Amino acid sequence: MKTWPHSYELRLQVALSPRGDLILTSRIKNKNADGKPFQFTFAYHTYFSVSDISEVRVEGLDTLDYHDNLQSKIRCTEQGDAVVFESEVDRIYLSAPPKIVTIDHEKKRTFVLRKKELPDVVVWNPWDRKAKAMPDFGAEEYKCMLCVGAARIEKPITLRPGEEWQGRQEISPVPSSYSSGLLDPEMIQQMQRI
């Protein structure tokens, strides 16, 4: 293929635990016979179903730098305690901690995202104008979704022939009655058991 003149193997393992944890493991192997290494970036693009995007907050990204895809990918710094949504957002947060939480106040549900070998995090919601322009996206669907996904974008991966890279993302839904910036004791116990 002209756009990607390399031979590779991609394996995606999808596992669902009895309590609802979704574990995605991706393996990419360089199968080039010509001895050439290749370089790539990687992102999961997982959509969460939320009750109302205006009530959702993403925690764990405070003070981090991000590339803003809505401003020609310029590098900005997150100023808030949490990421909240009042308009279109399309960002790549850099070198994020291994655990990020997406809190849905209305549904009293939190998605705990854990990641390995994937330092960055994509956060995306198209909002109304872009939603209308996308043929595979309902005009109103932006209100009840949020894309948060582990990624490796800033520092691409290089593989020599025969080498393999593995990245992993785990999503655990936990009930939560989060309020005023403090996790309730029940939720802390549940998160510690994960």
Ligand X SMILES: O=P(O)(O)OC[C@H]1O[C@@H](O)[C@H](O)[C@@H](O)[C@@H]1O
Q: How far is the CB of 147 from ligand X (least distance, A)?
A: 6
Q: Does 7 bind ligand X (CB under 6 A)?
A: no
Q: Does 69 bind ligand X (CB under 6 A)?
A: yes
How far apart CA 53 and CA 92 sit, in angstroms, is 19
Indicate the Cα dihedral angle 120, 126, 130, 132, nearest 10°: 140
Is the Cβ of residue 59 or residue 90 nearer to ligand X in the bound state? 90
CA-to-CA dists, residue 147 to 87, 165, 182, angstroms = 14, 24, 24
CA-to-CA dists, residue 18 to 43, 49, 160, 172, 173, angstroms = 26, 20, 38, 11, 12
Q: Does 45 bind ligand X (CB under 6 A)?
A: yes
Binding mask 77-96 for ligand X (x = CB under 6 A): -------------x------
Q: Which residue is nearest to ligand X (CB)?
A: 124
Q: How far is the CB of 124 from ligand X (least distance, A)?
A: 4
Q: Does 124 bind ligand X (CB under 6 A)?
A: yes
Query: Measured at the alpha carbon of residue 57, what is the angle toward residues 97 and 175, in degrees to the nearest 5?
Result: 90
Q: Judged by CB under 6 A, which of 122, 145, 151, 187 binds ligand X? A: 122
Residue the block writes with tokens 């909002």 = 127
Q: Does 44 bind ligand X (CB under 6 A)?
A: no
- Binding interface with ligand X (CB under 6 A): 45, 69, 90, 122, 124
